[in-house]
Amino acid sequence: MIALVDYGMGNLRSVANAFEAIGEKPVITHSRAEIESAAGIVLPGVGAFGDGMKNLRRLELIETLNREVLEKKKPYLGICLGMQFLTDESEEHGLHKGFGWIKGRIREIKPADKRYKVPHMGWNELQILKEGGLFQGLPEAPVFYFVHSYHLEPAEPGVITAVCRHGAEVTAAVEKENIVGVQFHPEKSQRVGLQLLKNFVRMVKEHAEKTADTCSHPA
């Protein structure tokens, strides 16, 4: 089971519809028990960073996410705001603390060419820096749909798996062990978006099988 974390921000139904289009039945939930029983965790979201973190704290979900993702190593997919939460802090409307799973900061996109407007909104081509993983089976330069004004600037550049250009280089995707994040919206990106979600589901199933095997054959 895949849990879509509901913390009151973003259109979770569209993300659920995309998973259902590939044959999955995700559960939209803010229940800690359901998140704990899930094999994979998806945290979508749009809106302000500070408001999102406030809602997650109010629902007492941050400790649960830390335990399930960092300790139990469950696959995690952050979409848009759900990717931005991964870092240490955000500069959006003040300074706000994030999960701290990936070292770095969320900063405003500042195009050198003023013809590029912020928010970065619409379709953009990716430059994939790390093959496989979420991008397995996709074209060489897939096009995804973006809506955002801020992006992740990691202190550990090796976590970046894809970038795009919008008058400046923008971090489009990151990966660190079982944690993946995308700044774009796969649920709005048609065929390539569905393929990316299939790849995440594959990661979830592989982890679940590995965990089951470990439990069946303890050291």
- Residues carrying an active site annotation: 80, 185, 187
SS3 content of the chain, % helix, strand, coil (to 5): 35, 30, 35
Instruction: Tell me the chain's radius of gyration from C-alpha atoms.
Output: 17
Q: CB count, 10 Å around CB of 187?
A: 25
Q: β-pairing, 179-182 with 169-176? A: antiparallel
Phi, psi of 31 (to 5 degrees): -80, 125
Which neighbouring-strand residues pair with 174? 160, 181
The encoded tokens of residue 63 equal: 């400790």
5 Cβ contact list (under 8 Å, min separation 6) = 29, 30, 35, 41, 42, 43, 44, 61, 65, 82
Distance of CA 206 to the CA centre of its chain: 19
Quote the strand ranges of the chain, DSSP E.
2-5, 27-29, 40-43, 76-79, 87-90, 96-97, 102-108, 120-125, 127-128, 143-148, 150-154, 160-165, 169-176, 179-182
